[in-house]
Homo-oligomer: A and B are copies of this chain.
Amino acid sequence: MAGSTLGKHFQITTWGESHGKGIGVVIDGCPAGIPLSEETIQAYLNRRKPGQTKYSTPRKENDIVTIQSGVFEGRTTGTPISLAIYNETQRSADYSEIAGYYRPGHADFTFDAKYGFRDYRGGGRSSGRETIGRVAAGAIAAALLKELGIEVFAFTKSIGPVRCAEDIFASITGNQPLCAAEGLKRALAARDASPLFMPDADLSLQAEDYLLATMKETDSAGGIIECIISGMPAGVGEPVFDKLDADLAKAIFSIGAVKGFEIGDGFQAAAAKGSENNDAFSGIRDGRAVKTSNHAGGILGGLSDGTDIVMRAAIKPTPSIYRSQQTIKRDGTPIDINIKGRHDPVIVPRAVVVVEAMAAITAADALLSNMSSRMDRIRVFYSK
């Protein structure tokens, strides 16, 4: 069944395999009138490009985007926006060997089980390159959100055992709201100073040491990405299934390698007491709640409360490692393999922008879905 489409208003459909002609995405339902250029999208894609540090694959992928439809005279037209990123090289030679067996931790076995055969070149559709379409669409979602004063910001919370303080985000912004210029500037500065996008200089160095040691052991690492959506109006999300946190969970969990997701205090809330976990309301500002704490992560009853939405995603270590592993051939017989090629020892830093993109896409879709909740507002909307 079709599964490559997400969203109802701001709806994205992605296509493309690792070693095919390219990767693309169609964004349908994007409102008309948003200024948009290829540069805006390219800036997002550049953040996930490999080869920028020694902690990512040295493969060269330029990933240049072209807008193929839906933009006229520099603005979105309201009709589908087609984006394509063509592959510059289509080397399949490196991968012919893996056609015959199933790599541990990869989707080789499950794709074969589902489809009867698979495009074995570089993981085909289950490759990390599939996220290019998500990031390109996320750039447009972020542009939409900016028009409403909403910012999305993700960063590396941990690499392996090296984890930032729980209040790291508050520290780097100095408690300035992200959707204010000063807060965003501080957050970007702290994050982008680190090759791992980990906004604590000391811990970033520790994480680099951990990664270098891991690479020396021909092993790989995982980590946690934290993401904040700031400036959301209150009341966004559609009970009881299309709640905002449920849709964020799905969007983030649909990224390959994600194994856990939490909102606010997340799993820590399970060990807390009610008196510790409840956030006291202290006022209302611009229709948004003011609270004395934010254990809830900005969501109550599945709807935004107007405070920062805080979420975290657990990313598993890269399954491709340069050491002998036990597995099976397509017929089920055992084989010992040594994966070749050039792989990321950790994908967390490159996945930061992917998480940011999926959060932005989900928030944009939820905001547009929310517009029909009240008859009084609909009447005003159509009276003009």
Contact = CB atoms under 8 A, between A and B. Distances in A.
Nearest to A245: B253
A348 to B, nearest CB: 8
Interface stretch (A41-49, A54-62, A192-200, A325-333): A325-333
Given A32-B117, A321-B278, A15 B254 contact: no
A283 B102 CA distance: 11
B221 A79 contact: no
Contacts of A1: 8-9, 29, 238, 242, 368-370, 372-373
Interface in A224-267: 224, 233-243, 245-247, 249-254, 256, 259-267
Contacts of A222: 269-272, 277
A174 interface: no
A32 B373 contact: yes
Contact of A303 (B113, B243, B271): B113
Nearest to A346: B274
A15 B80 contact: yes
B107 A301 contact: yes
A317 interface: yes
Nearest to A265: B259
Contacts of A289: 109-110
Contacts of A223: 270
A94 B80 CA distance: 24
Q: Which 4 A-B pairs have the closest CB atoms?
A: A107-B301, A3-B238, A114-B235, A2-B29
